[in-house]
Amino acid sequence: MSATTSEPAPPAPVDGDPAPAPPRASQRRRHERTLGLRLSAPAFFVMVLVTAYPIGYAVVLSLYQYRLTDPEGRRFIGLSNYATVLTDPIWWSAVLTTAIITLASVAIELVLGFGFAWVMFRILRGRSIIRTAILVPYGIITVVSAFIWRYAFQLDSGFVNQWFGLDGFNWFGERWSSLVVITLSEIWKTTPFISLLLLAGLVQVSDEMLEAARVDGANGWQRLWKVVIPNMKAAIMVAVLFRTLDAWRIFDNPFIMTSGANGTETLSILTYRQNVTLVNLGAGSAVSVLLFASVVLIAVIFVKGFRTDLSQVRGDS
């Protein structure tokens, strides 16, 4: 499995007649079904074990008034928690904050990440240095990245104000400027994720096709849009979908930088605060379920919009 050799494997041993008869074909089909079930069983089992109960538990709890500090007061209140949350400006402020961070970071990262992937793909000298360097922000702990950027902008330790002549401006004193720093840290940290996935797609685009397009007189821009991007759609789809979902649940960066102060509370921080800090499990679970629903909505838009179906595999290309 750890083989890095790339020569094609020798043909598998022949175990009988070369032209399978119909009965053998159906036997093979049965074998395939069994193998498919066996191969996916461990993943399925683990995912059900760790999430089915907590998910169900959160849905049930969201229908109760329930604080851990007041267990006796637990009672069924139907959908009231949802009404409370959805009429609370704190919820909508968190939605707006999260949406701003998500849109800004994913849009910038996609462009930047494609550029990085393209440079890593094309560069002749120092290619491995670049590829190594770009992996470091990705590998760095998000909490560390958050501290680095926070200390760069913070009044008592930072250099940014000095360098840009912003004497004594408190970046974490206002909503917009806090969001700028949070988004900067997010972009620095996660662009390598996108660029690595895009690079993986990029190397799969065949040189022959690019050469054919070049011979046909397509310029660089046309080759990019007509040949490269259509041929790496799967990689782009996976990268953008996961980065969007990831950004929508952003927690570490704003938690370390502002703890949600000055209107920078994201949906995950709100959920964490309700469940863990305030142990208001009823309303907290409603927030969790709503957060989950918002994420489902985003995913549906993506899958319908991009028309990508991971399960549609055999014979589709």
Helix (H) or strand (E) holding 65: strand 64-67
Site track for other proteins across 164-193, x = CB under 8 A: ------------------------x---xx
257 and 178 in contact (C-beta within 8 Å)? yes
Instruction: Enumerate long-range contacts of 307-311, CB under 8 Å, 24 or more apart.
Output: 308/233, 308/234, 308/237
Candidates 57, 76, 92, 176; binder of other proteins (CB under 8 A) is: 57
- Binding residue for other proteins, selected from 104, 106, 110, 134, defined by CB under 8 A: 134
> Whose Cβ is closer to other proteins: residue 87's or residue 312's?
312
Beta-bridge mates of residue 65: 75
- 32, 70, 176, 226: residue in contact with other proteins (rule CB under 8 A): 32
CB of 255 vs other proteins, minimal distance in Å? 8
Contact pick of 65, 80, 142, 222 for other proteins (by CB under 8 A): 142
Of 76-84, 103-111, 204-212, 221-229, the window that binds other proteins (rule: CB under 8 A) is 204-212
250 neighbors 142 (Cβ within 8 angstroms) = no
Binds other proteins by CB under 8 A, chosen from 6, 69, 87, 219: 6
Q: Is the dihedral of CA 245, 247, 250, 252 positive or negative?
A: positive
Q: How far apart are CA 52 and CA 164, in angstroms?
A: 51
Tokens of 87: 């009429």
Which residues within the stretch 213-242 sit at the binding site for other proteins (CB under 8 A)?
Answer: 234-235, 238, 242
Binding flags for other proteins, 253-292, as an x/- string (CB under 8 A): --xx----------xxx-xx--xx--x-x--xx-xxx-xx
256 three-state secondary structure: helix
